[in-house]
């Protein structure tokens, strides 16, 4: 199985600590991710132990406070780490993004007591999280969710089904959006649900086109009892919590998309430089070199877009529109670049002996998760036209 060569991206980082962190990430990618990505993807193996390794290296907690075991890194740095992980193995990069998303509710909306009690374990690497918003009948229309939680003394009793849950059945905790009140957005609340609760079960993983090492499954709540002190924020605040998390999560998907696109470009460039036809490398043919130039330009533009949004977030500025733009552009870029990479490799690109076909299959899902790209256009349009 041929793997794409790893090339260092020329990055402008804000500190020496950030440079060391990116160096550590690249080393882990080369040692722990790239050698096994293709084999595990082919077999559909979930690399749970890799997340423990990343946790021990401090890479599962980067954007959160040091006092709770976090890395205290700006999003600008965290996202570039995520990009490097996704370039090595998207299942891992996206898994880190989902874990970070699942910690967001508690870290941002939890009380000091809740954060002190649960966040260190969530950030240590020993626990892996999942984010539960979508349901079989409510995807883009998240405010229509039906999973219900009713108070019974000091416990919520939860019933319903969540769908498309990354790490479903494997996670140690779930940030679950549930209905505690009226229909619509105002009746939604957020619960931090331990993964070992009686009545909580996962369906068999979905059989997916790509990302086979990342388990995606329905999650069934059958009378699951959750203590009242695991309510994050106030009752009825869940939809606000969900939207805030998704803004940050979309930046994670944008960074992952750039990582996959970069890996595909590196593979295509390496092939174009070594593959010879008509007595010279195919990279010297103008038609192909122009294709590579367009691929590289789209990637640089996408990277600049997600970093600009991240810097707004780090500065405490509104970034919802910019996050939607980054997610939209970067994932469309990944789809285009991976398609072009297959074309550059020709027949080889269509075989499983090279990772180009895997990059193409993986890129597609990034246009769907964390809000489809059609939803991103709606978000952007509303920001442009609101009073």
Residues carrying an active site annotation: 370
- Helix 356-366 to helix 320-345 angle (10° resolution) is 160
Specify whether the CB–CB gap between 83 and 256 falls below 8 A: yes
SS3 content of the chain, % helix, strand, coil (to 5): 55, 15, 30
Work out whether strand 129-132 and strand 173-179 pair parallel, antiparallel, or are unpaired. parallel
The token pair at 319 is 């970034």
**What letter would DSSP give residue 348?**
G
- Report how far residue 124's alpha carbon sits from residue 127's, in angstroms, rounded to the nearest whole number: 7
- Report how far residue 9's alpha carbon sits from residue 12's, in angstroms, rounded to the nearest whole number: 10
- Helix 238-274 to helix 90-109 angle (10° resolution) is 160
**What letter would DSSP give residue 163?**
E
- Report how far residue 353's alpha carbon sits from residue 356's, in angstroms, rounded to the nearest whole number: 9
- Report how far residue 149's alpha carbon sits from residue 193's, in angstroms, rounded to the nearest whole number: 12
- Report how far residue 4's alpha carbon sits from residue 274's, in angstroms, rounded to the nearest whole number: 13
Residues contacting 322, CB < 8 A, separation 6+: 305, 308, 309, 312
């Amino acid at each position: 199985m041929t793997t794409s060569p790893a090339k260092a991206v020329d990055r402008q980082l804000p500190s020496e600590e950030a440079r060391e962190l990116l160096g550590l990430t690249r080393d882990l990618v080369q040692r722990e991710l790239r050698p096994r990505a293709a084999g595990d993807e082919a077999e559909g193996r979930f690399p749970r132990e890799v997340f423990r390794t990343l946790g021990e290296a401090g890479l599962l907690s980067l954007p959160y406070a040091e006092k709770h075991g976090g890395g205290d890194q700006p999003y600008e740095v965290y996202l570039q780490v995520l990009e490097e992980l996704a370039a090595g193995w998207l299942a891992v990069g996206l898994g880190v993004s989902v874990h970070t998303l699942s910690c967001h509710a508690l870290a941002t909306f939890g009380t000091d007591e809740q954060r002190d009690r649960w966040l260190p374990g969530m950030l240590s690497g020993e626990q892996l999280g999942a984010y539960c918003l979508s349901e079989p009948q409510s995807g883009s229309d998240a405010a229509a969710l039906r999973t219900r939680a009713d108070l019974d003394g000091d416990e919520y009793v939860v019933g319903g089904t969540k769908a498309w849950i990354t790490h479903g059945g494997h996670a140690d905790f779930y940030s679950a959006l549930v209905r505690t009140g009226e229909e619509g957005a105002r009746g939604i609340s957020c619960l931090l649900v331990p993964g070992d609760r009686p009545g909580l079960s996962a369906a068999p993983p979905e059989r997916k086109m790509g990302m086979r090492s990342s388990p995606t499954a329905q999650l069934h709540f059958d009378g699951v009892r959750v203590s009242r002190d695991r309510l994050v924020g106030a009752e009825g605040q869940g939809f606000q919590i969900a939207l805030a998390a998704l803004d940050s999560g979309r930046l994670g998907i944008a960074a992952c998309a750039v990582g996959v696109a970069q890996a595909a470009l590196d593979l295509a460039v390496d092939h174009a430089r070594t593959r010879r036809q008509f007595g010279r490398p195919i990279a010297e043919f103008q038609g192909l070199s122009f294709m590579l130039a367009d691929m590289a330009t789209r990637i640089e533009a996408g990277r600049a877009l997600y970093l600009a949004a991240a810097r707004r977030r780090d500065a405490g500025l509104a970034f919802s529109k910019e996050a939607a733009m980054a997610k939209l552009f970067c994932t469309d870029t990944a789809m285009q670049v991976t398609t072009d990479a297959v074309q550059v490799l020709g027949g080889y690109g269509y075989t499983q002996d090279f990772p180009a076909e895997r990059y193409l299959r993986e890129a597609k899902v990034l246009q769907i998760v964390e809000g489809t790209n059609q939803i991103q256009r709606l978000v952007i349009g509303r920001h442009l036209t609101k009073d």
